[in-house]
Structure 1
Amino acid sequence: MTAQDTLYRPKTAWTIAGLLATMMLVNFLDKVVIGLVAVPMMRDLDLTPAEFGLIGGSLHWLFAMAAVAGGFLANHKPTRTLLLIMAAFWSVIQLPMLLATSVWAIIACRVLLGIGEGPASPIATHALYKWFPDNKRSLPVALLHSGSSLGLLVAGLMIPWVTLHWGWRANFAVLAVLGFVWCLAWLKFGEEGRLDQARASQLPSSSERLPYRRLLSDRTVLSNYFCHFAANWSLALTLTWVPTYLEVGLGIDSLNTGRLFALFVVVTTPLSLIMAWWSQDLMRRGFSSRLARCVFVSISLIISGLLAFAQTMPDIPVAARVTLMTLSGGFALVMYSVGPAILGEITPSSQRGSILAMGNGFASIAGLSAPVVTGLLVQNATGHVASGYEQGFMVTGAILIVSGLLGLLYMNPARSQSTLGTGDSAAVATAT
């Protein structure tokens, strides 16, 4: 029994995990709303696909810088306070969307939203790692990101309905209210975990902090970042262009598009949780982190890429295309729950927030690029109306497969722990 296991308080830890999952739900509603109001917004504001792609990608213009800055703050400041400030900020920034009419006014709102939301995932993950010991981290982080997936489900059902009854702008008022409600709940129930102090007491003083050039040149860290980039490319494409692809490319009406988007979540959320549990169970049964986490997530990305390619095959039914698209997205999501645990193994806890945030920052380049690249492919496509979207899926598939292969070759936590002199592999081996 380690000191971390002694301080582990399951009831409180899972309460915090539930609150953070709810935060990520609101966070993802904020992100996905643009994709789900794309058709009426483009019609009302007379936007071209390239202009809409610019709006879709603008969330990520300063996302990376904000993520890294937030990560460094999280190394020194309480995560409870940082998360409250961020959630309040992104709730406020929804309100100008009720009046914005120009492309650049909308872009300004989305850029500011990206600044507020950039650090959310790494800081929330960092906060969770203060509550859960290493061998119990994959499942709560999967719950955290299932909140994101549930955000897609709620969005798919709620946003088309709100748009139909009150117009597309009304969605932003609803999102502001939801954000403020979460802030009140976090003020009452949010706490700061204490497991990092226990871990630090078990490690040699030389591992308390390391030069960032050593951490950022480590092959496990770098390949992990590329895998995160690939998963984020897939997710950004889903959030920005899949609703439009379903409605314009496949000819599905807006309400059924929303329902299919909800179906995406009904499938991918349990799939992501099951895969995270499977990885965690492999760790519990004594498999190395190299197999239980690194090989596991790398193969998931490769499968996701192959499925992305498969959905572009000609003459397959719409139901088959949607199924392949959904499964591809589900396998890519595994990276969000298992990937951070790999970084948590090899990074000193005093630097974990910044290393997680820099990974998110690098991945956000995909979030910026995927909507724009796909928008250009759609705008310049020739032939049938869906061809531009399908080219975007093929690009996504290639990125997923290449990154998965890099993960297979280079992610190895045991080797990185030995090289860097970090980690608590002994504690993991003895924990139950």
Structure 2
Amino acid sequence: MTTGDTQYRPARAWSIAIMLALMMLVNFLDKVALGLVSVPMMRELHLSPTQFGLIGGSLNWLFAVAAVAGGIAANRWPAKWLLFGMAAAWSVLQLPMLVAGSIWVVIACRVLLGAGEGPASPVAVHALYKWFPDARRNLPVALLHQGSALGMLIAGLSIPVVTTHWGWRANFALLAVLGALWCVAWAACGEEGTLVRGGRVAGTAGIARDERVPYGLLLTDRTVIGNFLGHFAANWILAMSLTWMPAYLQLGLGFEPHAAGRMFALFVATTSPLSLALAWLSQVLLARGVPSRYGRGVFVATTLAIAGLLLAALALPDLPRAAKLAALTLGSGMTLTMYSIGPAMLAEVTPDAQRGGVLALSNGFASLAGLGAPIVTGMLIEAAGASTARGFEQASLVCGVVLVLCGVLGVLCLDPQRSLRRLAQRPRDTPGAMRESSG
């Protein structure tokens, strides 16, 4: 199959997708490690729930700025070396955790780590899109996020064991080594993709692949806004789970540390296939001719709304422990679909030359949820008399409301075909408008 001036090479494309999935595995090991060592860390450093929530949210203090800067850089420089530099920084930033003795040292490490990780997902997705044509993008991006899920699964099984035998700090030394190993492999095997969409954006008569749209026009588009909101909602539950779910399993639901780690791994092992299956179903709908408005837009908005109802159910009184785990697992798994389908919709309406920047802006906006969710959860736990169970379940109700509202707005806003028509009808003689290629 050919697209534009280059050929789609499935074997090489999927090998790059696997390498990037492994990068996201390391990325999410870094993210989830803090939550899985939360109990011994809080005890050793004498942290309150609100203080620990502050540490959890600090990962996102520079996340948005870094995500946008990285996305803009990806529009100009090879993604291969941007990704290499980011992963190398993650490895180095694990080392101070081996000796951190105060909340401010830990916060400094997490803030800098967030700055290094901010561009990771949008730049990785941008890199993937250089290898896969539009109709084939749902599954490779879903695979990318399966790497994230696999990282959480491995963390759930291994980090409690490492903590028991060598202490909670030893986990960060292992993370540094894993990051360095990925950097070596990527430097040897990574490659920049060259696949671009040919001629004009599919379904329109006025947007060439190498044109540029004024950012003011792009960022006021309803599909772009709907994606930003959906990404925000999905990131809220993700950030809350990464920071507080291990503590909830131990202190809220009564699992001992190793069992809590296994339950966290089971949670991931269930959510990952669910999100992958939903991404596959969306791609099947598109292949059968269903417009992207329904096959992607209404589809992902509906999953967010259903997920919100499931998560809000955790706040119901006297709900059995098994039902709480099921609602949390299914709700969280359904929100992960946003991470594969959302970027595909943004790529539909964004010229190739601006795709990295728009994906990064979406990640940057979503990181605001990552900043707020851990702190809000910590405050609710402290307000509930330090009851992790009651506070976490109240936070799940808040998260559920956010998801339902963003799902409803998504149904109204997400329509790539309408967005493409709007962009194609823009005035061509305005300053900064897209320029036609000379060819």
Residue of structure 2 equivalent to 1:100: 100
Aligned partner of 1:9: which letter?
A: R
How many residue pairs get aligned? The number is 422
Q: Deviations over 1:344-400 (max 9, x none)?
A: 000000000000000000000000000001100000115965211111000000000
Matched, 1:267 2:270: yes
Q: Deviations over 1:315-336 (max 9, x none)?
A: 2221221111000100000000
Matched, 1:68 2:71: no
Bigger helix fraction:
1
Q: CA deviation at 1:198?
A: 4.0
Provide the rounded CA distance (Å) in 2 between the counterparts of 1:214 and 1:151.
Answer: 37
Provide the rounded CA distance (Å) in 2 between the counterparts of 1:399 and 1:198.
Answer: 39
Q: Deviations over 1:167-206 (max 9, x none)?
A: 0000000000000000011011100111126467997559
SS of the counterpart of 1:328? helix
Decide whether the 8 Å contact of 1:18 with 1:143 is kept in 2. yes
Structure 2: any 5+ residue segments left out of the alignment? 426-439
Bigger shift: 304-313 or 204-213? 204-213
Provide the rounded CA distance (Å) in 2 between the counterparts of 1:265 and 1:385.
Answer: 21
SS of the counterpart of 2:337? helix
Bigger shift: 197-206 or 258-267? 197-206
Provide the rounded CA distance (Å) in 2 between the counterparts of 1:13 and 1:357.
Answer: 22
Provide the rounded CA distance (Å) in 2 between the counterparts of 1:201 and 1:141.
Answer: 20
Q: Report the identity percentage.
A: 60
The change in CA–CA distance for 1:268 and 1:76 in structure 2 (over 3 A counts) is same
Provide the rounded CA distance (Å) in 2 between the counterparts of 1:128 and 1:38.
Answer: 34
Residue of structure 1 equivalent to 2:347: 344
Provide the rounded CA distance (Å) in 1 between the counterparts of 2:199 and 2:242.
Answer: 38
The change in CA–CA distance for 1:270 and 1:316 in structure 2 (over 3 A counts) is same
Residue of structure 2 equivalent to 1:370: 373
Residue of structure 2 equivalent to 1:282: 285
Residue of structure 2 equivalent to 1:427: none
Residue of structure 1 equivalent to 2:245: 242
Provide the rounded CA distance (Å) in 2 between the counterparts of 1:247 and 1:201.
Answer: 51
Residue of structure 2 equivalent to 1:430: none
Aligned partner of 2:27: which letter?
A: N
Residue of structure 1 equivalent to 2:406: 403
Provide the rounded CA distance (Å) in 2 between the counterparts of 1:270 and 1:5.
Answer: 35
Q: Aligned Cα RMSD in Å?
A: 1.6
Decide whether the 8 Å contact of 2:381 with 2:387 is kept in 1. no
Decide whether the 8 Å contact of 1:130 with 1:196 is kept in 2. yes
Q: How does 1:102-251 map to 2 (within 5 A)?
A: 102-196=102-196, 198=198, 204-205=207-208, 208-251=211-254
SS of the counterpart of 2:196? helix
Decide whether the 8 Å contact of 1:91 with 1:175 is kept in 2. yes
Q: CA deviation at 1:3?
A: 2.5
Provide the rounded CA distance (Å) in 2 between the counterparts of 1:221 and 1:13.
Answer: 27
SS of the counterpart of 1:100? coil
Provide the rounded CA distance (Å) in 1 between the counterparts of 2:64 and 2:209.
Answer: 30
The change in CA–CA distance for 1:302 and 1:98 in structure 2 (over 3 A counts) is same
Bigger shift: 204-213 or 289-298? 204-213
TM-score (norm 2): 0.94
Provide the rounded CA distance (Å) in 2 between the counterparts of 1:176 and 1:206.
Answer: 40
Decide whether the 8 Å contact of 1:64 with 1:118 is kept in 2. yes
The change in CA–CA distance for 1:55 and 1:384 in structure 2 (over 3 A counts) is closer
Structure 1: any 5+ residue segments left out of the alignment? 423-432
Provide the rounded CA distance (Å) in 1 between the counterparts of 2:103 and 2:41.
Answer: 10
Q: CA deviation at 1:6?
A: 6.0
Moved over 3 A (4+): 197-207, 382-385
Q: Deviations over 1:284-330 (max 9, x none)?
A: 11000001000110000001101001222222221221111000100
SS of the counterpart of 1:311? helix
Residue of structure 1 equivalent to 2:428: none
Q: How does 1:351-430 map to 2 (within 5 A)?
A: 351-382=354-385, 386-421=389-424
TM-score (norm 1): 0.95
SS of the counterpart of 2:315? coil
Provide the rounded CA distance (Å) in 2 between the counterparts of 1:279 and 1:201.
Answer: 20
